[in-house]
Amino acid sequence: MTALATAGTQPAHRPSVISGFFPIIRGLIFAVVGFAIGAAVAAGIRVATGAPAWAPTQTSSVGTIPSTEQIVTVGFIFAVPAWLLGVGFLETTVRQWFGYRTRPVVTDWRRYLTASEDHKVIGLQYLATFVVVLLVAGLGAMTMRIQLMQPDNQFLTPDIYNRVMSFHGIAMVSVAVAAVMGSFGNYFVPIMIGARDMAFPRLNALSFWLIPVVIVSLFLSELLGGWDSGWTAYPPLSVRNASGQVMFNLAIIVFGLSSILGGINFIVTTIKMRAPGMTWGRVPIFVWSVLSAAFIASFFTQFFAASLTMVLLDRLVGTNFFIGQGGAPLLYEHTFWFYSHPAVYIFVLPGFGMALEVLAHLSRKPLFAYRWAVAGFIGIVGMSGIVWAHHMFVSGMPSALLGPFLVTTELISIPTGLIFLSALGTVWMGRLWLTTPMLFALGFTFNFLIGGVTGIFLADVPTDVSLHDTYFVVAHFHYTIIGGEIFALFAAFYFWFPKMTGRMLSERLGKIHFWMMFIFFNLTFLPMFWAGLHGMNRRIATYQNDLAQVNLFISINAFLLGSSFIFFVFNVLRALLWKKAPRAEANPWRARTLEWLVSSPPPVENFPSTPIVVGSPYGYGTGGRPHAVFALAGASDEEVTA
Amino acid sequence: MTTMPLVAEEHALQADTHVEGHAAHHEEEHDRPGINRMGLWLFMASESCLFIAMAAARFYLAGTTKGEVNLALGLLLTVILLGSSWLGYQATGAIKVGNRRKAIAALLLASLLGVVFIAGVGVEWSTAAFGKDLVPPASPQATPFGTAFFAMTGLHVLHLFTGLVGLLLVTNLLRKGQFGPGDYWGVTAIVRYWTFVDVMWLVVVFPVLYLL
pLDDT at B132: 54
A351, amino acid identity: G
Distance CA A82, CA A200 (A): 21
Please, are residues A376 and A419 in contact by the beta-carbon 8 Å criterion?
yes
A460: left (phi over 0), alpha (psi -120 to 50) or beta: beta
Q: Which of A331, A597, A640 sits opposite B61 (nearest CB)?
A: A331
**Residue that wins the pLDDT comparison between B131 and A189:** A189
Interface subset of B 76-115, CB within 8 angstroms of A: none
Q: Average per-residue pLDDT in chain A?
A: 90
The pLDDT value given to residue B77: 95
Residue A105 binned pLDDT confidence (cut-offs 50, 70, 90): confident
Judged by CB atoms closer than 8 Å, whether chains meet at A299 and B45 is answered as yes
* CA separation for the pair A471, A480 (Å, rounded): 14
Q: Is B53 on the interface with A (CB under 8 A)?
A: yes
Cβ within 8 Å of A, B 130-149: 134-144, 146-147
Whole-number percent of chain A with pLDDT over 90: 77
Is B151 in CB contact (< 8 Å) with chain A?
A: yes
Confidence category of residue B67, pLDDT binned at 50, 70, 90:
confident
**A476 pLDDT exceeds 70?**
yes
Give the residue from A68, A321, A340, A594 with the most B CB atoms within 10 Å of its CB, the best one to mutate: A321
Q: How many residues does chain A have?
A: 642
- Report the largest interatomic distance among the alpha carbons of chain B, rounded to a whole angstrom: 79
pLDDT at A557 over 70: yes
B20 pLDDT above the threshold of 50: no
Q: What is the pLDDT of residue B96?
A: 93
- Give the pLDDT of residue B57: 95
pLDDT at A637 over 80: no
Question: Integer distance in angstroms from the first to the last C-alpha of chain A?
Answer: 20
Q: Are A383 and A408 in contact (CB under 8 A)?
A: yes
Let me know: does B126 contact B142? Beta carbons within 8 Å: no
Residue-wise pLDDT for A58-98, tens only, equals 554 444 457 888 899 999 999 999 999 999 888 878 887 77
pLDDT in tens, B133-171: 554 444 555 788 888 998 999 999 999 999 999 999 999
Residues 6+ apart with CB under 8 A from A454: A472, A475, A476, A479, A529
pLDDT at A208 over 70: yes
pLDDT for A342: 95
Nearest residue on chain A to B49, judged by CA atoms? Answer: A302
Q: What residues pair up with B180 in beta bridges, in sequence order?
A: B183
Q: Predicted confidence band at B8 (pLDDT cuts at 50, 70, 90)?
A: very low
- The C-alpha of A262 sits at a distance from chain B's nearest C-alpha, in angstroms, of 11
- CA distance to partner chain A, nearest, from residue B154 (Å): 10
**Which pLDDT value is given to residue B7?**
40
Q: What is the structure's pLDDT at A88?
A: 86
Answer yes or no: do B16 and A604 touch at CB < 8 A.
yes
Determine the angle formed by the axes of helices A436-459 and A402-411, rounding to 10 degrees: 160
Identify the band that residue A386 occupies on the pLDDT scale cut at 50, 70 and 90.
very high
Q: What pLDDT, on a 0 to 100 scale, did the predictor assign at position A55?
A: 74
What is the pLDDT at residue B3? 39
What number is the ipTM of this complex?
0.91
B 13-42 residues with CB < 8 A to A: 13, 15-17, 19-23, 26, 29-31, 34-35, 38-39, 42
Indicate if the pLDDT at residue B12 is higher than 60.
no
Q: How confident is the model at residue A625 (pLDDT cuts 50, 70, 90)?
A: confident
pLDDT of residue A641: 44
Record: contact B56-A328, CB cut-off 8 A: no
Q: What sign does the CA torsion over A455, A457, A462, A463 have?
A: negative
Q: How confident is the model at residue B19 (pLDDT cuts 50, 70, 90)?
A: very low
Nearest-neighbour CA in chain B from A22: distance (Å): 19
**Residue B49 pLDDT greater than 60, yes or no:** yes
Q: Does B61 touch chain A (CB under 8 A)?
A: yes
Q: Across the interface, do B4 and A302 touch by the CB < 8 Å criterion?
A: no
Q: Contact A366/A388 with Cβ under 8 angstroms?
A: no
> Does the pLDDT value for residue A329 go beyond 50?
yes
Instruction: Search chain B and give the residue with CA nearest A272.
Output: B35
Of the listed ranges A19-33, A341-355, A603-617, B17-31, the one predicted with least confidence? B17-31
> Sign of the C-alpha dihedral, residues A212, A249, A345, A572?
positive
Q: How confident is the model at residue A389 (pLDDT cuts 50, 70, 90)?
A: very high
Q: In this structure, what DSSP letter does residue A198 have? A: -
Kindly report whether the peptide bond that precedes residue A236 is cis, defined as omega within 30 degrees of 0. Answer: yes
| Mean confidence (pLDDT) of chain B | 84
pLDDT of residue B1 exceeding 50, the answer is no
Q: Are the Cβ atoms of B49 and A197 closer than 8 angstroms?
A: no
Rg of the Cα trace of chain B? 23
CB contacts of B175 in chain A (<8 Å) are none
Name the percent of chain A in helix, strand, coil, to the closest 5: 70, 5, 30
Residues of B in contact with A265 (CB under 8 A): 39
H or E segment to which residue A340 belongs: helix A329-363
Least confident interval from A448-452, B19-23, B37-41, B195-199 = B19-23
Query: Mean pLDDT over residues A444-465, rounded?
Result: 94
pLDDT on residue A283: 96
Of all residues in chain B, the one with the smallest CA distance to A592 is: B1
Residue A14 has pLDDT above 80, yes or no: no
Residue A635 has what pLDDT?
44
pLDDT for the residue A1: 38
